[in-house]
Structure 1
Amino acid sequence: MPRRTRHHALFDRLRTPRKLPGFLKAASVCVLIAGLLTPLAAATPAGAATASNDYCGGQCSDILPPGENGNATLAQILLNQIFGTEPDHAEDQLGTYNSLATGYSTLTDAKINTFFNDSSFGVASDQVASTESPAGRSDVTIVRDKKTGVPHITGTTRYGTEFGAGYAAAEDRLWLMDVFRHVGRGQLTTFAGGAASNQGLEQEFYRNAPYSEADLQAQIDNAVANNGTRGQQALADANAYLAGINSYIDASDSGRYFPGEYVLTGHKDSITNAGTIDHFKITDLVALASVIGALFGSGGGGEVNNAISLLAAQEKYGVTEGTKVWESFRERNDPEAVLTVHNGESYPYGTKPDNPQGEALPDAGSVTTEPLVYNATGTGADQSATAASETATKTALSSARRGMSNALVVSGKYTASGHPIAVFGPQTGYFAPQLLMLQEIQGPGISARGASFAGLSMYVELGRGQDYAWSATTSGQDIIDSYAVELCQDDYHYLFHGTCTAMDEVEQANSWKPTTADGTAAGSYTMKVWKTKYGPVEYRATVGGKKVAYTTLRSSYMHEADSIIGFQMLNDPDYVKSPQTFQSAVQHINYTFNWFYADSTHTAYYNSGNNPVRASGVDAEFPVWGQAAYEWQNWNPATNTADYTPAAQHPQSIDQDYYISWNNKQALNYTTASWGDGSVHRGNLLNDRVRKLVAAGGVTRSSLVKAMADASLTDLRAEDVLPDLLKVVNSSTVTDSTAAAAVTKLQTWLTAGGKRTETSAGSKTYANADAIRILDAWWPLLVKAEFQPGLGDDLYTAFTNNLYIDETPSAAHGPTGAHAGSSFQYGWWSYVDKDIRSVLGQTVSGPLAEQYCGGGSLSSCRDILISTLKTAAGTSASTVYPGDSLCSAGDQWCADSIVQRTLGGIKHYNISWQNRPTFQQVVEFTSHR
């Protein structure tokens, strides 16, 4: 029998790679497998012609590792854990994705589908693996292809189409969908067990969206009521989609082929089939959307942490000079920053006001994080101590680390065919099963293929229509503000428009039973959030001696469902027919994304999000007083609605020569909420390569894929910062033998391209491995030695709390920690670049307010660099790459490698590092309707 049949902690955290513990006692393995191999109903293959409404001419492709199938029966999980076997289509896109890292150099257009899948509409008759009519319905069929198992859903009625989409979603991601509806409600531990990872995950999201069931329903009601016919259609689509999900739940339950994780977590009995899988309801969709929105579509929220570092700068330098120093590190409008809209157009947003008003900066040392966990027992008590001591810094960093990338789009004027070409997709992390799922949906008013987040796949969210394709990257502009509400009467009352008002208390009680395999004991706790009209309380402090609570208000709070209208439009072939109508569609998406578009003639870009119109004089970088004078213009606290900047003020463009995006700055004077939009940004890796292609002309799909792949393997520090560091080091002859040898290795690596690539496919060893080790060890040492003496300990620490020093592939960072693929998004490379260039006497636009390396002396700076380089050269690989549950200490390749983090019972092998989107499209349409 399984070692545990109740509350097995399947998550060991999204942020941390892990090995799943054994599920079975060996003596009973064969008996269990034999008893659980219940055959599924045989699907009858049927012919399916390639769709006639496809204008891509066979030149659209996509990829989404590890595979389409994210469900596994208990027997399949056991076979995977014991023998490593995989269910059909569980990892058949993983090897294809991985192989681009060593295969891209010889890529041609004819070879693209060696590394991607054909994403043409329909399935050729000889490629049909199965055809089913879910629940016996005559108005929808689901055809799956042999190569990938992707569902191609075709309906003759709108209801049937959406019913099929829900049924297919449950077939491929039921367990994952169930996990995330519980995450969105703060109920993961009760559902999946009390492991530390589960506790941390539900606590992180509950603070951001502490919704009651009434709150979730109200968001649906408002979205429907405010959008007329489209709102009513969205509601009907959602209900049909839910009916499809629930039909699959019933069918899989009666047929006993539901996901095996329900047995392993005690929700179902493997022998008697006792237990239930709860039906999905419409509020589950909002709970799911709140998680995805918090991860990828909500920029801002670091105002309190900004205030702490500003005060530290002013303490170090005085108010005037300290403010200048702070602004130079903030780089909110750096003239050297790479831009997506690079034609000179200006889109002012979040700029510094001439005379800031209403700032409520905390008294030094007074900020504390509002406790989230109460009444903890057992293993809940062990974790609550950590949660309660979480600093303002950690929370602020978390809010700024949601990368979603990238996009390369070239106008037809510069391509070989005369048609635009796009290579783009979201970086959502790597999971088993994947957060995203692929599908094609064809029905009345819907015609699209692409990726959608599991449980939200009633429409394709990122993909292609009949004659156009679209994708997104996280934009990160500031839609979150912090208000200081003055307390009155006690700690749970505050002044609102002059009246002492009680905070609302929202709580979620969770408890779990013990598990044996991972040592998790029984426990419980209650998560409690205090809400004001200005949003949930996140910190407490004093301002000028007055006790305050700092709240967090985001424009998408209580509006998680609103974006459904934009996605509905993107799927509607009768709506999107041009770049202008595309831009109109994505204007209905209230999350902070950059949207890109390509058809056979045009390209386009638009930055979405409900950007609040702030009161005159309010600086979005810092907390302000919770008073009427500093509220968003026309803000209604009952509905959390306000005036938002009009569409014309959002960065946008049609038919620019090319577009790139890798979470970089959008346009001139448009301020993102994240630090690090300076002279060196990973967007430069794309921009430099695409600009060269455009200058040469004749761009092809394969050449644009090559540009993306080449950038995805390049160490940003090596390409854009290391050359100037070596100029300083080599400004005099290097006499120290250790330093000289290190310089030679680094220069050789630079000459080879500064990439982190295997010596050959599958070697699991880097070319120029020692040079890579040296830079990985050197970077944090040189940054600290360069800046800490000048800034002082307090300010240096405060600035590192605003922006991580480094983000190498092996570092634990970003939304999913180490082994996450996404790298070099944030770091101090721009600061080092500007400072070193200043020391070298080069022209620097937007320089730092002070010179730091050696106090501006070239010889002193050189001494610092050589000293730290010697230390780095002598640092062992086992120290640089300390090892974890997956990798032994010193295994450089493994430390960088990408892991499909287990969110269920199936696990996969790790692959070589590539800094590229999780889901990716390559598109070049040949004609238009």
Structure 2
Amino acid sequence: MPLRTPRRIGTLKAAVAAALLALGVTLVAPVSVGHAAETNDYCGGQCSDILPPGENGNATFADILGNKVFGTRPDHTMDQLGPYASLADNYPNLTDATISNFFNSSSFGVPSDQVASVTSPRSDVTITRDKKTGVPHIKGTTRSGTEFGAGYAAAQDRLWLMDLFRHVGRGELSSFAGGAAANRGLEQEFWRQAPYTEQDLQAQVDWLAANSGPRGQQALADAQSYVDGVNAYITAAVNGRYFPGEYDLTGHMDPVTNAGTIEPFKLTDLIALASVVGALFGTGGGGEVQSALSLLAAQQKYGVDQGTKVWESFRERDDPEAVSTIHDGSSFPYLPKPAGPQGQALPDPGSVVPEPLVYDATGGATQATTKSPGVLPANLFSTHKGMSNALLVSAAHTASGHPIAVFGPQTGYFAPQLLMLQELQGPGISARGASFAGMGMYVELGRGQDYAWSATSASQDVTDTYAVELCQDATHYLFHGSCVPMEKLERTNSWQPTLADSTPAGSYRMQVWRTAYGPVEYRATVGGKAVAYTQLRSSYRHEADSIIGFQELNDPGFVHDAASFQQAAQNINYTFNWFYADSRQTAYYNSGTNPVRAPGVDASLPVWGQAAYDWRGWDPTVNTADYTPAAQHPQSVDQDYYISWNNKQAPGFTAAGFGDGSVHRGNLLDDRVKALVKAGGVTRSALVKAMDDAALTDLRGEDLLPDLLQVINSAPVTDPAEVTAVQQLTAWSAAGSKRHETSPGSHAYGNAAAIRVMDAWWPLLIQGEFQPGLGSDLYTALTANLTVDESPSAGHGPTGAHAGSSFQYGWWSYADKDLRQVLGKPVQGPLAQTYCGGGQLAACRDILLTTLKQAAAVPASTVYPGDDSGCSAGDQWCADSIVQRPLGGVTDDRIAWQNRPTFQQVVEFPSHR
């Protein structure tokens, strides 16, 4: 490829400009006018944020060709990726003064000398973009104008992505963007969870209008103005021929004649978009059938009583050693194990069969794989999304006497990003921050005039599995004493090959059977009776309800302190942990509509679909119920500090699934922030350092390797290979167990050999430690509940390869408790049995050394086998690296691994209204 000299790039731009002019497109120079900083900004220059790779997520067909041929990119496509990535190399020497090298100012307004352009798509709104990042600062003289501008700016930055997700939300991605296997897998995974009809989507709009009072009416008006803005941009872009080039690549527009159609948006599209966001980040629970299978395996292995005890010890519902966001001594009981479970519906052994989804596949739909990767990752929904984090320190422990927060969501790494930045200023709205593409009526995570807020996925249990007894045939079930038919829902998708997707023409039909208790997931027998297992979540058919809480968070007249923030968060029905900081207070609130279960129901396992075991107050026609009151949700104001990395919310609060035990990713934050608070005088840069130090640390190395080495060193190690491996691991542990380059850009880790050994050792170690005692069947069943490993290079892990997020899911706690029992150390909430070497130190040591020697012999090319992202076998750094997974036609650079949020804020308000 020729070198991309400035002259050559200039020639390309000139050629593209000439081509556009030939097609009748006029290039307008940016307008540079004064746009003073907002007077309602109380952050005093101490608020910052970052959202890689960049604000601009739209590229024309010419832009995409330029990227593929010459490597060029539109402005602001990747300009936030470099500062974000470089923090890993520079955080040890960070000061408050140098934070701006790695984060952008999130002050309101744009200084006059930093204005790149001003657009006025309607007379009552302006969209000002700054030179550095291209973020839209939307200012309206009317509320409708503000929202219209928000929609217009969203379409400018994310139109293609918005279009993709409204089709995902309808289960129609392959028909829209091609029949690649990844596209089909994604739409199948989503539509199985939320098989909405157009009537269902409209019903959510109608519900909001009828049941949410004046704020609901205002929200619908805001949403309509937002949609009007989106459609105004579509019209302008089509007429001006600057719409996203992906429409050309997928056959919706003709790149030569411009013939074609981009369908306008409507309110129900926003419901479809909201359902996608909710499915990705705002749900929790489910998986009760898998839990039942592992419980049955435990009972088969040990007998009912002991097997249940063993299973409960791995379930860790309320582990006393688990790190909790709330640690002030308060407790928030939620879903404890009932003393006498009622209505339990465990399947008969061997009877569970998944409900089929795909039928009538023809042509390209019969292919298992295709060269086309799809327009969205196939595992976008099936993989876990527990990645966000938060660190807050109260005013009493900071150098300034004002609270400090470093927080943000981890929504994955994509090009363009799922989130987009914006500032909204208008009547009743004053905020800057991030919103999901297509959901930007309000800022969803960001800052107001004198406060900031953020969230982490909470995933508490709001989803239950019901066993509905079949009657008459496989499509009828007993509902409150009557035999009623299931509702048959179908979606047929068909496609033709396109420039972006060579999958041969094909089609297939998806089919879901829906009951009052939700969609059918499995068929089985329970006590010999034929049943369908269904899944029901509290936010099902209510994805739009959270708009009220977001509206309140953006309203400076509503949020003015911790209490009003918590009230707004309470009106969000997604399962999130919400965090707040202003110049005086910090606060936390766990949101979500937590249904009140019937007495005796064990929410961790399937229950009979009978009136006696329904959610209390449940109305099946609209899926509403009685919900636990606000006072029972984990919450706090001005605790000395808060941390969250998708860990346990509070003592007594039962985890929705397996994995909240003594060792959790949250410990990496808690240990560091606790030490800062103990020392006192915390600064913004100190809290950022704590975050990024944790972001580069291998959890296994910091919290488990010391005990592993203690067991091994309980007797002399003599085998030369074992001696070398132990020495390597010991040196790595002493150096802080980091996964970090030896120097910026070296693409080589310090202690690389030790890291390779640990990556190879961990799965061998866990299997050697636990499988002999558990037996193969129970071990396999428990690994289905909780994956063994999630190191950065573990492409098989829950979040997939090159995703950044690591160490959320794994057998960290099980190994920790088991090893401490072997060593004779105190353990609260121990496993029901000791597994490593049957509890004998010498036998346990033999297992560790045997598996360690095996691991040390595994070559790097096997540990890091290479992949289709461009990594060669044996390339450790590349295997860990973060890839901005393309959601459009332009690609961005990979970066070194960091385990941190995607969008992130650093805030310290010096004053208040």
TM-score if structure 2 supplies the norm length?
0.96
Structure 1 CA distance for aligned equivalents of residues 353 and 238 of structure 2 = 48
Identical-residue share of aligned pairs (%): 72
1:889 equivalent among 847, 857, 873 = 873
2:19 equivalent among 12, 35, 41 = 35
Maintained 8 Å contact 1:534/1:637: yes
Show the 5 A alignment for 1:844-855. Answer: 844-855=827-838
Structure 2 CA distance for aligned equivalents of residues 517 and 603 of structure 1 = 48
Partner of 2:210: 225
2:749 equivalent among 756, 766, 771 = 766
Deviation string for 1:803-847 (max 9, x for gaps)? 000001111256752100010001001100100111011111111
Q: RMSD of the alignment, in Å?
A: 1.7
Deviation string for 1:104-127 (max 9, x for gaps)? 000000000100000000011110
Of residues 537-546 and 29-38 in structure 1, the stretch that sits farther from structure 2 once superposed is: 29-38
Maintained 8 Å contact 1:373/1:384: no
Partner of 2:87: 100
Secondary structure of the 1:346 match is: coil
Show the 5 A alignment for 1:395-794. Answer: 401-515=384-498, 519-794=502-777
Matched, 1:363 2:348: yes
Maintained 8 Å contact 2:251/2:499: no
Maintained 8 Å contact 2:787/2:797: no
Matched, 1:115 2:102: yes
Deviation string for 1:703-736 (max 9, x for gaps)? 0000000000000000000110011111111000
Maintained 8 Å contact 1:199/1:383: no
Residues 615, 506 of structure 1: CA spacing in aligned structure 2 closer, same or farther, 3 A cutoff?
A: same
Partner of 1:67: 54
Structure 2 CA distance for aligned equivalents of residues 471 and 119 of structure 1 = 14
CA apart distance, 1:404:
3.6
Maintained 8 Å contact 1:836/1:853: yes
Maintained 8 Å contact 1:746/1:771: yes
Secondary structure of the 1:755 match is: coil
Maintained 8 Å contact 1:296/1:404: no
Query: Letter of the aligned partner of 1:535 in structure 2?
Result: G
Deviation string for 1:559-591 (max 9, x for gaps)? 000000000000000000110000000100001
Partner of 1:5: none
Structure 2 CA distance for aligned equivalents of residues 420 and 727 of structure 1 = 40
Maintained 8 Å contact 1:300/1:399: no
Structure 2 CA distance for aligned equivalents of residues 121 and 332 of structure 1 = 44
Structure 2 CA distance for aligned equivalents of residues 903 and 181 of structure 1 = 14
Residues 812, 572 of structure 1: CA spacing in aligned structure 2 closer, same or farther, 3 A cutoff?
A: same
Structure 1 CA distance for aligned equivalents of residues 182 and 442 of structure 2 = 31
Deviation string for 1:354-403 (max 9, x for gaps)? 00000000011111110111111122123499xxxxxxxx99x9768221
Deviation string for 1:142-166 (max 9, x for gaps)? 0000000000000000000000000
CA apart distance, 1:674:
2.2
Query: Letter of the aligned partner of 2:875 in structure 1?
Result: D
Partner of 2:375: none
Deviation string for 1:513-565 (max 9, x for gaps)? 13577651111101111000000001110101111000000000000000000
Structure 2 CA distance for aligned equivalents of residues 827 and 34 of structure 1 = 56
Matched, 1:163 2:178: no
Structure 1 CA distance for aligned equivalents of residues 179 and 96 of structure 2 = 50
Deviation string for 1:628-653 (max 9, x for gaps)? 00000010000100000000000000
Q: How many residues align?
A: 891
Matched, 1:301 2:286: yes
Partner of 1:80: 67
Secondary structure of the 1:756 match is: coil
Partner of 1:327: 312
CA apart distance, 1:75:
0.5
Maintained 8 Å contact 1:410/1:420: yes
Partner of 1:57: 44
Residues 384, 610 of structure 1: CA spacing in aligned structure 2 closer, same or farther, 3 A cutoff?
A: farther
Structure 1 CA distance for aligned equivalents of residues 583 and 317 of structure 2 = 36
Structure 2 CA distance for aligned equivalents of residues 128 and 194 of structure 1 = 43
Secondary structure of the 2:474 match is: strand
Structure 1 CA distance for aligned equivalents of residues 306 and 460 of structure 2 = 27
Structure 2 CA distance for aligned equivalents of residues 371 and 32 of structure 1 = 49
CA apart distance, 1:221:
1.0
Structure 2 CA distance for aligned equivalents of residues 194 and 648 of structure 1 = 48
Partner of 2:899: 915
Matched, 1:178 2:163: yes
Secondary structure of the 1:798 match is: helix
Structure 1 CA distance for aligned equivalents of residues 107 and 754 of structure 2 = 43
Deviation string for 1:890-925 (max 9, x for gaps)? 110000000100010000110000000000000000
Show the 5 A alignment for 1:199-238. Answer: 199-238=184-223
Partner of 1:13: none
Maintained 8 Å contact 1:302/1:399: no
Residues 176, 829 of structure 1: CA spacing in aligned structure 2 closer, same or farther, 3 A cutoff?
A: same
Of residues 186-195 and 31-40 in structure 1, the stretch that sits farther from structure 2 once superposed is: 31-40
Structure 1 CA distance for aligned equivalents of residues 492 and 816 of structure 2 = 49
Residues 168, 321 of structure 1: CA spacing in aligned structure 2 closer, same or farther, 3 A cutoff?
A: same
Structure 2 CA distance for aligned equivalents of residues 588 and 40 of structure 1 = 45
Matched, 1:860 2:843: yes
Structure 1 CA distance for aligned equivalents of residues 385 and 487 of structure 2 = 29
Query: Letter of the aligned partner of 1:888 in structure 2?
Result: S
Structure 1 CA distance for aligned equivalents of residues 367 and 331 of structure 2 = 51
Structure 2 CA distance for aligned equivalents of residues 744 and 131 of structure 1 = 61
Matched, 1:904 2:888: yes
Structure 1 CA distance for aligned equivalents of residues 775 and 131 of structure 2 = 62
2:814 equivalent among 831, 834, 837 = 831
Deviation string for 1:490-532 (max 9, x for gaps)? 1000000111100001111000113577651111101111000
CA apart distance, 1:29:
13
Deviation string for 1:430-488 (max 9, x for gaps)? 00110000000000000000000000001000000000000000011100000000001
Maintained 8 Å contact 1:380/1:523: yes
Secondary structure of the 2:216 match is: helix
Matched, 1:924 2:911: no
CA apart distance, 1:224:
2.1
1:353 equivalent among 338, 341, 344 = 338
Structure 1 CA distance for aligned equivalents of residues 295 and 383 of structure 2 = 18
Structure 2 CA distance for aligned equivalents of residues 888 and 399 of structure 1 = 27
CA apart distance, 1:42:
2.7
Partner of 2:4: none
Matched, 1:799 2:782: yes
Query: Letter of the aligned partner of 1:921 in structure 2?
Result: Q
CA apart distance, 1:874:
0.7
TM-score if structure 1 supplies the norm length?
0.94
Partner of 1:247: 232
Structure 2 CA distance for aligned equivalents of residues 40 and 216 of structure 1 = 40
Maintained 8 Å contact 1:400/1:674: no
Structure 2 CA distance for aligned equivalents of residues 262 and 512 of structure 1 = 15
